Structure 1
Amino acid sequence: MSQSVHPSAEQFLALTLESDAQATLSLFEQAGNWQERYRQIMLLGKSLPKLDDSLRVDGAQVRGCESNAWLYHSEIDGKHYFLADSDARIVKGLVALLLIACNGKSSSEICAFSPDSYFTQLGLQGQLSPSRTNGLLALAKAIKLAAE
């Protein structure tokens, strides 16, 4: 029987992405075309720490993603924190966008979060393949469920 593995509270609190939500939105708003936005997504993916292999377990895998993606959640002092990773670079960048929007937020803030509006604001609506969009929505749904 496998032992349940879960990151420590320190690991959740140590996750700091190089950008906050407003700075990220500014980068996307300044990007002149889809290729520049795609590049920004890839750079964000590089800023997301890689999960240790011991945390890449079936129980943490997000279903509905074409690529492998893992998500961990912890509630600390009424705020929700997430660790996530993917084996696909573009998905990892998209995951980083979700974490920027949701990490350190309250349950009510996460429940009010609209992934569709957020991705429209970022200029990503209609730019991603249907399977990638479905995977991204599956990740957003998993984040919302964890915060309930």
Structure 2
Amino acid sequence: MTIKEIQEEIIDEFSMFEDWMERYEYIIELGKSLPLINETYKVDDNLIAGCQSKVWLHSEIDNHKIKFTADSDAILTKGIVAILLRVFNEQNPSDILNTDLYFIDEIGLKEHLSPTRANGLVSMIKQIKLYALAFQSKLS
């Protein structure tokens, strides 16, 4: 699936919920389905700066596609990470770098997060794009 198709799928899923309490519950459920990160990747080098809670993000490239694994010590943040990985996992670096990440505004995610969580969301996206940039330069 393309990044755009995945974003459309997420927008459709979130439109099924009546209110933000249901959406928060769904985000938490998504976090529970996040594959476990290898404990060897839960190191300071993989911590995302700017997040209120601890978020570890690891990436590697395989066949020109970036594979991400992540974890967080906060259940809501883990769900947010799960959504981002759903969008960006198994995509090539240039698609990640050139994507218009519109689903966040469409579902109203950023406006329904505390300011510190919203900053953390921005930090997670920035780190994902930095990994993509690094991998793209290695592939060039």
Identify the TM-score tier after normalising by the shorter chain. Answer: 0.7 to 0.9
User: Gapped runs of 5+ residues in structure 1?
Assistant: 1-19
Q: What TM-score do the two structures reach when normalised by structure 1?
A: 0.80
Asked if 1:54 is matched to 2:40, the reply is yes
Give the corresponding residue for 2:3: none
User: Gapped runs of 5+ residues in structure 2?
Assistant: 1-5, 134-140
Considering fraction of residues, name the structure with more helix: 2
Report matched runs for 1:9-24 at 5 Å: 21-24=7-10
| CA 1:107–1:54: 2 relative to 1, 3 Å | closer
Asked if 1:63 is matched to 2:57, the reply is no
Q: Is the 8 A contact 1:28 1:123 kept in 2?
A: no
Output the aligned Cα RMSD: 1.5
Asked if 1:132 is matched to 2:117, the reply is yes
Asked if 1:30 is matched to 2:16, the reply is yes
* Deviation, structure 1 residue 36: 1.1
Alpha-carbon separation, structure 2, partners of 1:113 and 1:92: 22
Q: What TM-score do the two structures reach when normalised by structure 2?
A: 0.84
Count residues with an aligned counterpart.
Answer: 128
Pairing partner for 1:42 from 28, 48, 51: 28
| CA 1:122–1:43: 2 relative to 1, 3 Å | same
Give % identity: 38
Letter in 1 for 2:22: E
